[in-house]
A and B are shown apart, each in its own frame.
Chain A
Amino acid sequence: MSNYYGFGKIILSMILAMCLRIAPLPPELSVFNPDWVLLVLIYWSLAVPERVGIFHAWGFGLLTDVLTGRLFGQYALAYSLVIYICLKLHKRLRQFPILQQGLFIFFCLLLSQLLLFLIKNLQHPAQLHGTFWLPVFTGTLFWPMVYTAMRFVRLSRRIKE
């Protein structure tokens, strides 16, 4: 029962993250919109690594590809690589103070964005400007918020650790 419930919570939080991902912000703000799906995925992979694995990341990556109308597989690729790293390091990361964790999240987001950039460049050498990298910074700034909010959600009714 509790198992089932916990998974429902993960799914719900992912759906919420996807909603935020495509939220209709005014154009000046939308360039700041961080990659919520990845942030929430990272949280779950750190908190319940035996529950959220690479294949979940891959699946959610595919869904994000459809959601944002990308070529199939680019978010899947980025997410599964980032989550792989997170899973490898999750024991150490849980001990880190929030600042150090933030730095790690920064590099995770950067890696994902870099992969997306490379793929986009392969497709058509794109005319991207500096704003492409902004979500990495805002994502890092939002991480403490995501962390506390998700922690609250997780502990409000325990998901088995």
Chain B
Amino acid sequence: MAVIASIALLVAEHRSQQLDFLRATLSFFIDPIKYLVDLPTVMVEQASESISSYATLKKDNERLREDQLIHQTQLLKFEALEKENIRLRALLENSFKLGEQVLIAELLSVNMAPYEHIVVVNKGTRFGVHSQQPVLDANGVVGQVFRALPLSSEIMLITDPNHAIPVQVNRNGLLTIAVGSGQINRLILPFLPSNADIRPGDLLITSGLGGTFPQGYPVAVVDEFTSELNKPFANITATPKAKLDRNRELMIVWSNSTPVPLISKPPVTEPASKATPHE
């Protein structure tokens, strides 16, 4: 009987989303275990923080202040560029997508399954997280929310073998898809012909096609390009920009998908700039 029940559950969940409620309920019992396992890491971190010396803290503080200053000046220019971009797009009669809100989530150091690249963070549907949201870190795209539970959510990294992300070569706008390889520092671009205009060192950014990832975030850098004579597709690998195995803080993004209207209606652009611009 248990066998029949489990098979029924398997089929039911594979087909539809209706069991999400059951999973959410059970996760109330399970999530404390995840937090419990995470506890030693948090404690070690706090301990190392509390015994770090005044000098280190001061140095850190200074460095961060400098960084902040540099970023601020860059942002000054960014605002002007953004407005200019909107104007240019208006000339092309094109709408412009911007305005993204982020939520900082912290990684729980648990290990779900060794051969899958899925990590758990400490923010869930309580914070409005839903599945298929893009996740970033300070350097680039990390992955997307795979499953949101009430108190935690599972994030599939871009290097998972079952993950694919639509990308664009920053240099020339060439569109393709980057597929995870199963190794934490490697992506594969399997769908480019041998004569494609791509070379090592090219930056890949999200193309915005597919609708999950907002356009323009750095994803990876091409590090190898080899083509074999009698094969139609080239072997291309890339290294993700995001520090997938080192970061503890991730950003979950809400992209504000209402396009900003053309220049002729300036007041309407206000709500977009209210959302924290993040780039």
Chain A residues engaging chain B, CB cutoff 8 angstroms: 15, 18-19, 22-25, 27, 30-31, 33, 54-55, 57-58, 61-63, 66-74, 76-77, 80-81, 84, 119, 123-124, 126-129, 131-132
Contacts and interface: CB of A to CB of B under 8 A. Distances in A.
A17 to B, nearest CB: 10
Contacts of A81: 3
Interface string B28-45: 011001101110010000
B115 A128 contact: yes
B135 to A, nearest CB: 15
7 contacts: A23-B37, A24-B110, A31-B115, A58-B5, A61-B6, A62-B9, A127-B182
Interface in B3-29: 3, 5-10, 12-14, 19, 22-23, 26-27, 29
A19 B6 contact: no
A63 B154 contact: no
Given A63-B29, A71-B10, A19 B37 contact: yes
B162 interface: yes
Nearest to B110: A22
A69 B10 contact: no
A62 B23 CA distance: 9
B10 A73 contact: yes
B51 interface: no
B109 interface: yes
Given A77-B10, A124-B162, 11 more contacts: A22-B112, A24-B41, A24-B110, A33-B111, A55-B2, A71-B10, A72-B10, A72-B13, A73-B6, A73-B9, A76-B6
Given A23-B37, A63-B29, A66-B27, A72 B9 contact: yes
A74 B6 CA distance: 7
Contacts of B8: 73
B26 A62 contact: yes
B6 A80 contact: yes
Given A23-B37, A58-B5, A30 B13 contact: no
A61 B27 CA distance: 13
B12 A22 contact: no
B147 interface: yes
A71 B13 contact: yes
B9 A76 contact: yes
